[in-house]
């Protein structure tokens, strides 16, 4: 079996869709991960609740950063598809 | 020999129907009473069917010998020895399994035989022809039979209930008041413990085969081990079934493929196009086996819960977390391999290229770490939540269907869960498998060097690699 290479335009659309699909879960889970890591660090260093807040803030920042990166890649993808 | 072959055909039909009826009866006995009762019904039915087979062989051998056929002696011998072995086996079964259940199973083929013979006689009778000549007349007759059965069943139920109430009243009168009070007070902590146990067990789910075995052997060490690995066993079972299917399809490939080879080839080609479409022609083919297997495996596991007495392994968080950690590990391994250790560190630090970038590294490292950890957690939680939620929805609607008919004392409920089962099979289960796999593919895509998918590095001008 020798499968054909997929159509570049369809592949680009598929890639953009899959990238955008990752946004909702990352938006929700990243702050939660930050919160739990912060709580864990707080218990470890006995600094409640400072590291929890810091972890939550970092989590939000991580979510925004991941989404920013994804959107940049999707934009680059669209730009590339337009050039073809 | 038209009559003889007709007779043997009839027996073959009886065997097929009896096998199905015996299976259903065994399942009902196993789920309603005990596992041993279910096994007893199945064993009784199987014994009777094998006995019929041995008798058939003996009779065919006798007839063949009379007509001068070959192999007739061998058939006779097989029939006679088979009958003797079956009698010995029957004695052994009577000592190991409940005799009542064995008798019920034993009677299933006879009931099928009698009903089939009766229906054949009825269908050929002039009375039946007269009734079915007019559809309205037939409908009225069926409705009146159904109504009479309904009233008879309700009447029987009422009589049984009245008898049970009378027995209960007698037993309560016989008991003295102080012991009754003591009994009531001793029941309270037991009920509380039961409620606590039910709460600890979690929400009510559909019964499954392993769960029934565990319940029947509650407290035994091996049952505890089975309970701990229940979902893992189902996951392994799915893996074994899929392996058998794929090995069978790929064992002897033909130029003109058969149905199984055709199906598997179509699935592999679709997976290839899909993953190569996302990851690009350079990296895509390398990940097709892993991601394609992941998709088919998750889909099969999601579907497994739809099969009666089975359970979706993906409705357990441990299984989904294990799969998400596998994806996470593979993504990190690929990043190490493709980028090297320094490249991986550079990626984790947010690829700093200026003084401000380097100054932000202590902040970006934990941020990136949180982002990476969020990926497996989001994958596992999403799949687990959707499949577990679907299972709970089915249980809820099945309970609602049973409750709706409970006042009529029917032995079954309205199948309200069926539309949601179809919805699950058609949409939820494949879509959840697709989403898990698609997100895994995206995590690979985000970790791989960026220039290979038709665009440049972060912040760089994109270039076409295709």
Q: From the list B269, B375, B454, which residue is nearest A77 (CB)?
A: B454
Q: Which of A5, A10, A69 sits opposite B458 (nearest CB)?
A: A69
Maximum average pLDDT range among B129-133, B235-239, B388-392, B406-410? B235-239
Return the pLDDT at B169.
72
pLDDT, tens digit (0-9, with 9 covering 90-100), for B215-265: 888 888 888 888 888 899 999 999 999 999 999 888 888 888 888 889 999
- Beta-carbon contacts of B276 under 8 Å, excluding residues fewer than 6 positions away, are A3, A5, A6, A11, B284, B285, B288
**Each residue's pLDDT tens digit, B396-438:** 888 888 888 887 777 777 888 888 888 888 888 999 999 999 9
* Residue B171 distance to chain A (closest CA, Å): 59
Is pLDDT at B87 greater than 70 in this prediction?
Answer: yes
B294 CA: distance to closest CA in chain A (Å): 16
B371/A contact by beta carbon, under 8 A = yes
B355's torsion region: left (phi>0), alpha (psi -120 to 50) or beta? alpha
Q: Inform me whether the C-beta atom of residue B267 falls under 8 Å from chain A C-beta atoms.
A: no
Q: Choose, out of B352, B374, B462, the residue to mutate when testing the contact with A (most A CBs < 10 Å).
A: B374
Q: Does B273 touch chain A (CB under 8 A)?
A: yes
Nearest CA in chain B to A3: B269
CA-based nearest residue in chain B for residue A58: B367
Name the nearest CA neighbour of B405 among B416, B394, B390, B419: B416
Beta carbons of A28 and B378 less than 8 Å apart: yes
Do A83 and B371 lie within an 8 Å CB cutoff? no
* Chain A interface disruption, residue of B287, B371, B439, B451, most A CBs within 10 A: B371
pTM of the model: 0.59
Average per-residue pLDDT for chain B: 80
Specify burial of residue B377 (Cβ count, 10 A radius: 0-12, 13-18, 19+): buried
Peptide bond before B415: cis, by omega within 30 degrees of 0? Answer: no
> Is B380 at the interface with chain A, CB within 8 A?
no
Question: CB within 8 A of B406, min separation 6: which ones?
Answer: B413
Contacts of B269 in chain A (CB under 8 A): 1, 3
Nearest CA in chain A to B272: A3
| Among A25, A30, A76, beta carbon nearest to B370 | A30
Cβ distance A65 to B371 less than 8 Å, yes or no, reads yes
* Cross-chain residue pair A65–B367, CB shorter than 8 Å: yes
Q: Do A21 and B439 touch (CB under 8 A)?
A: yes
Label each residue of B12-53 as H, E or C: HHHHHHHHHHHHHHHHHHHHHCCHHHHHHHHHHHHHHHHHHH
How far is residue B343's CA from residue B424's CA, in Å, rounded to a whole number?
A: 43
pLDDT score for B239: 95
Nearest-CB residue to B378 (from A18, A29, A62): A29
> Which of B311-320, B356-365, B407-416 has the highest mean predicted lDDT (pLDDT)?
B311-320
The minimal CB distance from A1 to the residues B269, B374, B445 is found for B269
b/e B127-156 (16+ beta carbons within 10 angstroms → b):
eeeebeeeeeeeeeeeeeeeeeeeeeeeee
Share of chain B above pLDDT 70, in %: 83
Most confident of A48-52, B123-127, B236-240, B389-393: B236-240
Is pLDDT above 60 for B177? no
């Amino acid at each position: 079996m020798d499968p054909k290479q997929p159509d570049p335009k369809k592949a680009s659309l598929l890639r953009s869709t899959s990238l955008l699909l990752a946004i909702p879960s990352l938006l929700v889970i990243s702050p939660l991960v930050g919160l739990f890591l912060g709580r864990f660090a707080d218990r470890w260093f006995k600094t409640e609740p400072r590291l929890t807040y810091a972890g939550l803030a970092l989590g939000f920042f991580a979510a925004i950063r991941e989404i920013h990166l994804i959107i940049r890649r999707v934009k680059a993808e669209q730009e590339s598809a337009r050039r073809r | 020999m038209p009559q003889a072959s007709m007779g043997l055909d009839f027996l073959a039909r009886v065997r097929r129907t009896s096998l199905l009826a015996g299976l259903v009866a065994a399942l009902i006995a196993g789920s309603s009473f005990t596992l041993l009762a279910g096994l007893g019904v199945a064993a009784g039915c199987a014994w009777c069917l094998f006995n019929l087979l041995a008798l058939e062989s003996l009779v065919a051998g006798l007839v063949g010998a009379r007509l001068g056929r070959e192999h007739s002696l061998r058939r006779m011998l097989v029939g006679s020895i088979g009958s003797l072995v079956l009698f010995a086996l029957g004695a052994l079964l009577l000592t190991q399994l409940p005799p009542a259940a064995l008798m019920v199973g034993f009677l299933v083929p006879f009931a099928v035989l009698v009903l089939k013979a009766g229906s054949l006689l009825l269908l050929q009778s002039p009375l039946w022809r007269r009734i079915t000549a007019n559809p309205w007349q037939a409908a009225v007759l069926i409705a009146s039979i159904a109504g009479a059965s309904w009233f008879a069943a309700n009447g029987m139920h009422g009589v049984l209930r009245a008898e049970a109430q009378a027995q209960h009243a007698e037993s309560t009168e016989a008991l003295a008041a102080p012991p009754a009070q003591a009994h009531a007070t001793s029941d309270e902590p037991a009920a509380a413990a039961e409620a606590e146990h039910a709460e600890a067990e979690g929400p009510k789910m559909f019964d499954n085969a392993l769960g029934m075995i565990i319940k029947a052997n509650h407290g035994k060490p091996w049952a505890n081990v089975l309970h701990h690995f229940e979902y893992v066993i189902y996951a392994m079972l799915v893996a074994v079934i899929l392996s058998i299917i794929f090995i069978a399809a790929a064992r002897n490939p033909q130029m003109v493929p058969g149905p199984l080879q055709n199906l598997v080839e179509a699935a592999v080609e679709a997976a290839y196009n899909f993953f190569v479409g996302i990851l690009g022609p350079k990296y895509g083919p390398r990940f097709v086996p892993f991601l394609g297997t992941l998709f088919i495996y998750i889909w099969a596991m999601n579907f497994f819960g739809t099969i009666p007495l089975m359970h979706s392994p993906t409705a357990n968080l441990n299984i989904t977390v294990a799969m998400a950690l596998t994806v996470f590990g593979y993504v990190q391994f690929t990043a190490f391999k493709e980028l090297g250790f320094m490249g991986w560190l550079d990626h984790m630090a947010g690829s700093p290229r200026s003084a401000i970038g380097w100054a932000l590294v202590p902040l970006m490292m934990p941020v990136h770490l949180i982002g990476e950890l969020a990926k497996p957690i989001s994958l596992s939680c999403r799949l687990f939540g959707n499949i577990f939620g679907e299972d709970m929805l089915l249980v809820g609607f099945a309970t609602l269907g049973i409750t709706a008919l409970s006042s009529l004392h029917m032995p079954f409920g309205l199948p309200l869960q069926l539309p949601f089962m179809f919805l699950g099979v058609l949409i939820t289960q494949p879509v959840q498998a697709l989403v898990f796999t698609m997100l895994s593919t995206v995590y690979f895509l985000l970790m791989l060097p960026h220039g290979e998918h038709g665009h440049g590095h972060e912040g760089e001008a994109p270039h076409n690699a295709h």
